[in-house]
Amino acid sequence: MDGTNGSIQSHFILLGFSDRPHLERVLFVVILVAYLLTLVGNSTIILVSRLDPRLHTPMYFFLTHLSCLDLSFTTSSIPQLLYNLSGRDKTISYVGCVVQLFLFLGLGGVECLLLAVMAYDRFVAVCKPLHYMTIMHPQLCLGLVSVAWSCGMANSLVMSPVTLRLPRCGHNKVDHFLCEMPALIRMACVNTVAIEATVFVLAVGIVLSPLVFILVSYGHIIRAVFRIQSSSGRHRIFNTCGSHLTVVSLFYGNIIYMYMQPGSRSSQDQGKFLTLFYNIVTPLLNPLIYTLRNKEVKGALRRLLLGNRKGSRSEALDCPASNLRVSCSGATAGL
């Protein structure tokens, strides 16, 4: 296609919050602080999970990948947003828009699938505790993570070109603060019903299917919890599973609203703030959710900060090496 219909352009203009200049100044400060805290929080989770041998279990292996995703997810758009908020220049190159859309869709899809993988890990830990370390062996964990990454990125490879090839008749103003799929679809100067139907079908596979799997897994977990006699055992399960469910609720609540109705024009401003929420607030809260309610992570942080790691080192020497460096403490490490 030639450039006459706007299908190929040198740049886009991200309108973002430019109609509210006073709000832009406030948002710049708030988002900058939140982004820095997100970097610190998720980097801390990754370092603690890797440095403390007691956290070398499948659960923290998946949590490390979740933190990596959150870091990549926010970095794919927040630096550009901060640049646009800091001055009058609201442009983004066409290539930058393509990369941003691909990463945003791909990493979002990976996170949907990874949360389902983490739900399966909790299901095995609670419902089959004696076989937990046998079932969740390093090869399976790596395989599950690989499938999540592959399917998420493959989904983006399909959705991104479909969105970018829509004729825009010379329009280059995106009514959003990033190159997001619903905003780009709204720019099209043709009927987008077929595209929206395709997006909806793909969204069912990448968004709703993992969510159904998560709900089914937690249905089995709840049944298993009611059969546990020990109150301390129930409390421990509720702590770890509650953290995961909180993250699932925050992430899915917003992403379903946005991507199950991609062409909706009901409230574009509401869509911007919802996107901002799951793009910066959710990744910011994830480390807090997993640390404030988790004694193992808080203990690992304390040991690392105080330099008291003698016990952890001796434990690591007794464990056989593996790709995941899984702890030898048995099934109880899964909880």
Residue 91: phi and psi, rounded to 5, are -85, 155
pTM of the model: 0.81
Instruction: Find the Cα–Cα–Cα–Cα dihedral 175, 69, 248, 50, rounded to 10°.
Output: -160
Statement: residue 2 has pLDDT above 60: no
Query: Distance from first CA to last CA of the chain, Å, rounded?
Result: 55
What is each CA distance from 129 to 12, 13, 113, in whole angstroms? 53, 53, 23
**Distance, CA of 149 to CA of 143 (rounded, Å):** 10
Q: What is the mean pLDDT of residues 310-318?
A: 43
- Rounded to 5 degrees, what angle do the CA atoms 260, 266, 272 make? 75
pLDDT at residue 52 above 60? yes
pLDDT at 179 over 50: yes
- Packing angle, helices 21-51 and 295-306, rounded to 10: 80
pLDDT at 239 over 60: yes
pLDDT digits (tens, 9 = 90+) for 275-301: 888 788 888 888 888 776 677 777 877
Whether the predicted pLDDT of 65 surpasses 90: yes
pLDDT at 326: 37
Q: Considering the chain, what is the average pLDDT of its residues?
A: 80
Q: Quickly state the pLDDT bin for 46 (edges 50, 70, 90).
A: very high
**Lowest mean per-residue pLDDT among 2-16, 94-108, 233-247:** 2-16
Using 50, 70 and 90 to split pLDDT, how confident is the model at 140? very high
**CATH number of the domain at 11-306, please?**
1.20.1070.10
Q: How confident is the model at residue 189 (pLDDT cuts 50, 70, 90)?
A: confident
In this structure, are residues 78 and 31 in contact, taking their beta carbons and an 8 Å threshold?
yes
Q: What is the pLDDT of residue 240?
A: 67
pLDDT for res 315: 43
Task: Please give the pLDDT value at position 148.
Answer: 94
If one compares 53 and 228, the residue with the highest pLDDT of the two is: 53
Give pLDDT, residue 281.
85
Q: What DSSP string describes 196-235?
A: HHHHHHHHIIIIIHHHHHHHHHHHHHHHHHHT---HHHHH
In the chain, % of residues over pLDDT 70: 83
Confidence of residue 231 (pLDDT cuts 50, 70, 90): confident
Check whether 141 has a pLDDT greater than 60.
Answer: yes
The pLDDT, as a whole number, for residue 6 is 42
Tell me what the mean pLDDT of segment 233-252 comes to.
Answer: 77
pLDDT of 259 strictly over 70: no
For residue 317, is pLDDT > 50? no
